[in-house]
Amino acid sequence: MKCVTAIWKLQSSGGSVGENRKVIDKVDYSGRVDTLRGIACLFLVFFHLVGNTAATGLKLQTDSYYLIVNQVLENIRMPLFSFLGGIVFAMRPQTYNATELLYGKIKRLIIPLFFVGIPFLYIKSQSGLAHVESKIENFTDYFNVLWMSVGHFWFLQSMFLVFIVFCIFNLIRFDYKKNILFIFLFSILLSFIIPDDVSFFSISGFSFLFPYFLFGMICHFYKDRINGASEGKGLFSYFCYSVFFILMLLKFNFVVNGIEVDRISFFCMSLSMFSLIVLLMSIKKSTPLIFIGKLSFTIYLYHIFFIAFSRKILSIINYDNVELNIFFGLCVTVFFSWLLDAICKRYNLLWVFIGTYPKAYNKAKF
* pLDDT: which is higher, 235 or 289: 289
Considering the domain architecture, whether residues 263 and 307 belong to the same structural domain is answered as no
Strand partners, 139: none
Q: Read off the DSSP letter of residue 364.
A: -
CA distances in angstroms from 305 to 46, 63, 152, 332, 359, listed in the order given: 14, 27, 12, 10, 25
Q: Read off the DSSP letter of residue 200.
A: B
- Residue among 235, 172, 283 nearest 2 (CA): 235
Last residue of a domain, one of 263, 285, 307: 285
Considering the domain architecture, whether residues 110 and 204 belong to the same structural domain is answered as yes
- Residue among 252, 67, 85 nearest 155 (CA): 85
Considering the domain architecture, whether residues 200 and 183 belong to the same structural domain is answered as yes
Query: In this predicted structure, what is the pLDDT of residue 16?
Result: 36
Considering the domain architecture, whether residues 197 and 106 belong to the same structural domain is answered as yes
Residue 158 lies in a domain: yes
Q: Tell me the residue type at 354.
A: I
Q: Rounded to 5 degrees, what are φ and ψ at 200? A: -65, 120
Residue 63 lies in a domain: no
The mean-pLDDT minimum among 49-63, 100-114, 118-132 falls in: 118-132
Tens digit of pLDDT for each residue in 171-230? 999 999 999 999 999 999 999 999 999 999 999 999 999 999 999 999 999 888 777 666
CA dist., res. 74 & res. 76, Å (int): 5
Residue 5 lies in a domain: no
Considering the domain architecture, whether residues 239 and 186 belong to the same structural domain is answered as yes
Residue 123 lies in a domain: yes
Query: In this predicted structure, what is the pLDDT of residue 232?
Result: 56
Last residue of a domain, one of 269, 285, 301: 285
Considering the domain architecture, whether residues 271 and 293 belong to the same structural domain is answered as no
The pLDDT of residue 13 is above 50: no
Residue 55 lies in a domain: no
| Residue-range definition of the domain harbouring residue 332 | 17-50+286-365
The pLDDT of residue 23 is above 60: no
- Report the pLDDT averaged over residues 4-12: 45
> 109-112, long-range: CB within 8 Å, 24+ apart, which pairs?
109/156, 109/157, 109/159, 109/160, 109/163, 109/355, 110/146, 110/156, 110/160, 111/352, 111/355, 112/156, 112/301, 112/352, 112/353, 112/354, 112/355
Considering the domain architecture, whether residues 180 and 134 belong to the same structural domain is answered as yes
- Report the pLDDT averaged over residues 148-161: 94
Considering the domain architecture, whether residues 264 and 193 belong to the same structural domain is answered as yes
Tens digit of pLDDT for each residue in 230-271? 665 678 888 999 999 999 999 999 999 989 899 999 999 999
Question: What stretches of 93-234 show up as alpha helix (H) in DSSP?
Answer: 98-105, 111-126, 154-171, 180-193, 203-221, 223-231
Give the chain's end-to-end CA distance (angstroms, integer). 27
Considering the domain architecture, whether residues 150 and 241 belong to the same structural domain is answered as yes
Q: What is the distance, to the nearest Å, from the Cα of residue 309 to the centroid of all Cα atoms in its chain?
A: 23
Tens digit of pLDDT for each residue in 295-322? 999 999 999 999 989 988 998 888 878 9
Residue 326 lies in a domain: yes
Instruction: Output Rg (C-alpha) for the chain, integer angstroms.
Output: 21
Q: State the total domains in the chain.
A: 2
Considering the domain architecture, whether residues 347 and 253 belong to the same structural domain is answered as no
CA dist., res. 190 & res. 68, Å (int): 30
Residue 345 lies in a domain: yes
280 band by pLDDT with thresholds 50, 70 and 90: very high
Angle at 48 between CA 46 and CA 53, to 5 degrees: 105
Query: In this predicted structure, what is the pLDDT of residue 131?
Result: 53
Considering the domain architecture, whether residues 108 and 181 belong to the same structural domain is answered as yes
The pLDDT of residue 56 is above 70: yes
CA dist., res. 62 & res. 55, Å (int): 10
Q: Tell me the residue type at 358.
A: P
Question: What's the pTM?
Answer: 0.88
* pLDDT: which is higher, 52 or 333: 333
Considering the domain architecture, whether residues 140 and 31 belong to the same structural domain is answered as no
Q: How many CB atoms lie within 10 A of CB 240?
A: 24
Last residue of a domain, one of 256, 285, 314: 285
Residue 337 lies in a domain: yes
Tens digit of pLDDT for each residue in 311-351? 889 988 888 789 999 999 999 999 999 999 999 999 888 99
Instruction: Give the whole-number percent of the chain exceeding pLDDT 90.
Output: 64
